[in-house]
Amino acid sequence: MCKRTHLSSESGSTLLVMMMAIALLGALALGVMSMSSFIAGETRSLNATTGARTLLTVFQGFLTQPGLCFVGLDSATKTFDGAAAITAEGMPIFFNMGAATNTLKDGGALDNYDVMVDAIRFRTPSPLTSIGNDPSIPGNVLYSGTLSMKLSKLGGVSMPGGRAMKERVVSTLLISVNPTTLAIGGCYGTLNAQQDCVNIGGAYDPTAAVKCKIPYPCEATPNSIFLGYDPVTNIPKCKTVAQIVGDACPAGQYLVSDGSGGSTCQSP
C-alpha cells in the first residue's frame, strides 16, 4: 500500500508541474503577443506620422503647379460652392495626384503614406468676396482661401494616441470661378508670402518694416477715414472728419475734446 501511495504522489506532482509549465508558456505567449501588438502599433503610428508629413510636402508641390492643380481636380468638385466655402465645415474639394492610390478625397485610403483622408476642405472668409478678376481666364473671378486636410492613421492594430490626427493646413489656394456657371476653371496653391500679398492686391517690399502694404480702401475720398465695409454692398464706408462730427453732434454745435479720450458737443 505504501508503494502505491508513493507512485500516486509522484504522478500528481508530475501533472501539477505540467499544468504549471503550460500556464507559464501560455502567459509567455500572451506576453509576446501583447509586445508584438504594441511594437506593431508603435511602428504603424510612426509610419503614419512620417507619411502624413511626406504627403503634405508632395501635395504642396503638386498644388503650386497651376496645370497640375486644375487637371488633378476631381470632376465631382469642379463646381464652386460658395455657401459651403464660408462655413466652418468648408467646401469639399478633391484631387488626384496621378494614381488611384493617391486620390485625395473624403474616405480615401492612401496606402503609400499609411493614412486615410477623413476630410479635405476649402474655406474662405465670410462674406464671400472675390479678390479680383482672373487675368489668365477672361470673365472668371478669383477666390482666395485655405485648403486643409484631416487625416487618420491606417492599420488594424491599436495605435498609440488613437488613429485620429490633427487637421493640417496645406496651403493658401486660389480658385478661378466662372461667376455665371460656377464652374472652376483653374486653381493655384501658394506658399510664398510675396505671392500671397500680390494675390490680394497688395504691394510687397521685403526691405520695409511692413512688407505687405494693402491699398487704403478710402484713397478715392481725400482726407477720409475708413469705417469698415457696408454689410450689404461690401463697399468701403469712408467719411471725412466733418461728416463724422456732423453725425455725432446736433445741428449748430461742434465737437470738443476733453483731453482724456472723451468729447462733448457744444454750442458756439
Matching residue, cell 469642379: 78
Q: Rounded CA gap, 74 and 98, in Å? A: 11
Give me the pLDDT at residue 79, please. 95
Cα of 19 vs its chain's centroid, Å: 58
Q: Do 215 and 197 contact (CB within 8 A), yes or no? A: no
Q: Rounded CA gap, 49 and 151, in Å? A: 10
One-letter amino acid identity for 268?
P
Give me the pLDDT at residue 185, please. 93
Peptide bond into 250 cis (omega under 30): no
Can you read off the three cell numbers belonging to residue 167? 487637421
Q: What is the CA radius of gyration of the chain?
A: 33
Q: Is the pTM of this model over 0.85?
A: no
Q: Which residues contact 104 (CB under 8 A, 6 or more apart)?
A: 59, 94, 95, 96, 97, 110, 117, 120, 149
Q: Give 10-residue mean pLDDT values along the chain (268 residues).
A: 52 65 63 51 74 87 83 91 95 84 84 90 92 89 92 75 83 92 91 67 72 78 82 80 81 82 83
